[in-house]
Amino acid sequence: MIYTMTFNPAIDYVVHLENHLQPGKINRCTDETYQFGGKGINVAVMLRNLGHDAIALGFIAGETGSWLQKGLHNMGLLTDFIRLPSGMTRINVKVKDKEETEINGSGPVISPADMKRLYTRLDALKSGDILVLAGSIPACLASDTYEKIMRRLAVRNILVAVDATRDLLVNVLPYQPFLIKPNSHELGEIFGRELKSDREITECATKLQERGARNVLVSMAKDGALLLDETGKVHRMAAPSGKVRNSVGAGDSMVAGFLAGWLQTGSYEKALRLGTAAGSATACSLGLAGKEEIDAMLAKM
């Protein structure tokens, strides 16, 4: 089974403006929608779209938490959320005009007792299961939370995929995650340099692999993706053509597509191909892409 972890899920309220956002004035939207999100949830939704069951783990609170859970169940997603005694699941406001402006909520407080409940759930994972740790962690949690989780799972043959930034990513490397997925900008930040070529990206990915990562998947926006697999082989995939309409969830879609492709074929090359198609399809959609949109991207590759 695949499990995805979202410490701070959200309801994204997305509004589209015909003109630029004007601070201090009334702005009227031309279209509005809402999406149930958080990076781990996005991965779970995309896995479901690709035909793989996944259970979304995380924390919810208040009426907004009930709305999020009900909405995900109506979408056919399996969840095992921990309900917090106070606070509310956050609402993020995404304003889309010629650019994208985001106002993100803070979310509820997660206590040590709540974390113990999470560890109990994680203790139920079995050998061969996959756990996806995606995104940042709330300020109320210790900065080594991902490390504690991986240390707890280290001797149980749980495959862990980590999509995080900077220290949150680097500090889990000694626990040999199955997959890490920085984007090229985040990879450069880790080493304090701007990466301008495939050679430089491969060089930095190799350093992360030497520190423990089994597979390093680097997303490169319109330039596609690069994978350094656990055998040391470098795979490169160009992004299929399409008009970019949305940046939210593209990286999560790539992670889901990669895992789905690897589970289906056992081939890292084919996993990269499906991951790149899924990420590109979401980037060219208004929300997370469906199977038809992904298949259309695959046909272009």
**Contact of 29 with 41, CB cutoff 8 Å:** no
Query: Any catalytic annotation for residue 252?
Result: yes
Strand ranges for the chain from DSSP E: 2-6, 10-16, 31-37, 54-60, 78-83, 90-96, 100-103, 130-134, 159-163, 179-180, 215-219, 225-228, 234-237
Catalytic residue among 12, 163, 229, 252: 252
Distance (Å, whole) CA 241 – CA 276:
12
Residue that has been written with the tokens 């055998």 in this structure: 231
- The 10 Å Cβ neighbour count of residue 107 is 26
**Contact of 1 with 129, CB cutoff 8 Å:** yes
- The 10 Å Cβ neighbour count of residue 266 is 9
Catalytic residues: 252
